[in-house]
Structure 1
């Protein structure tokens, strides 16, 4: 990694606080292995749960023909599976190129306040422990 950063210094992303990848690779890592393992385990745990929930939702949408028309045009196997990785990669790419990145997060929770989404989904067959976990996680 250090050789690659040294060969492309103009493309090395620097964060707003001035810390670059080169600075991070120079940190002594002998005392950090326990912390790295904890972060990796937490990340793997969250990604696994997110993947299970996403796969469960896709299976449910296929069984009940609940795909939105914008998604139904594409095959489910073409849908991205790791949104956080895609977002992080896009941010790093924009920083390395020195270009602005415009991101929009649309939140539809209160778009239809009279609609009780959990009840509506439950009536259509969306239930089980993963869905209950997802509801608790979103409401927390």
Structure 2
């Protein structure tokens, strides 16, 4: 048992998995569930859906105009990128890259209703996974297996990220949800600014802003318009 646990730690593919194993060994007892999903339903219904009434901070006229314009987006758009970010089919290399990501970050993720684990998905050959995901895009229909759907969205995410980086659309200060960056970069920068200001006799004013219900407050028609105006288009966008 000791040797097996030692091997798990030494063979951990990432720091995140290493510390997860440490947590399992030091506190193996599962945390009891104190709140049911039904009890949280009302909270998450509000958080994951558009608000019933338009917030006062929204421009009602522009909001209505954007909804009308979004309706005019054609069902089939053209990929204008020379690299084919949104039209090129995924390859075995793409699915291999996503598999590596899942091994490092997501093997312990919860299953869907089908109870199929990521480990089972990783056993599918790369070419077969690439074909399946490309076929979903061609048919405009998502896979029925939850973990495959997550894998497909991860492929899309990586393609969009590569496009955004190539176009210089992601600012240097974007540290969250970005590979190779950490959110603790920002406190480090803030501390450096504070120490520099103190050493040079300057005053620094800091504002911490937290948007209420930021996710549902993102207007989808406006978001689609922004993306297509920025140059997105093609089968993956459609």
Work out whether the TM-score is over 0.5.
Answer: no
If the length of structure 1 is used for normalisation, what is the TM-score? 0.42
If the length of structure 2 is used for normalisation, what is the TM-score? 0.27
Higher helix proportion, which one?
1
